[in-house]
Amino acid sequence: MAFVNLMQSTAGRAVRAAAGLVLVAVGLILGGGWLALAVIGLLPLAAGVFDFCLLAPLAHQPIRATHGPRP
């Protein structure tokens, strides 16, 4: 639950976007079969850019971050 709260924060958004960028860059640099890694990297990149967390429903949290205080 703490991990999901972290990933829904502003810092978590930056981490998701950065991780996606790294995966895309590595996949494009290595090429070949590694291009699949670049395609997979688009998911965390989109999650960071559009501010949603796919792990949140597993912890009964909203998929979109509220960025406010949590009860």
**3-class SS at 8?**
helix
Residue 67's pLDDT is what?
59
Non-local (6+) Cβ contacts of 38 within 8 A are 23, 24, 25, 26, 27, 28
Q: Is the pLDDT of residue 57 over 60?
A: yes
**Global model pTM greater than 0.75:** yes
Phi-psi region of 60 (alpha: psi -120 to 50; beta: other; left: phi over 0): left
| Tens digit of each residue's pLDDT (9 = 90 or more) over 12-52 | 889 999 999 999 999 999 999 999 999 999 999 999 999 88
Q: Is the pLDDT of residue 68 over 60?
A: no
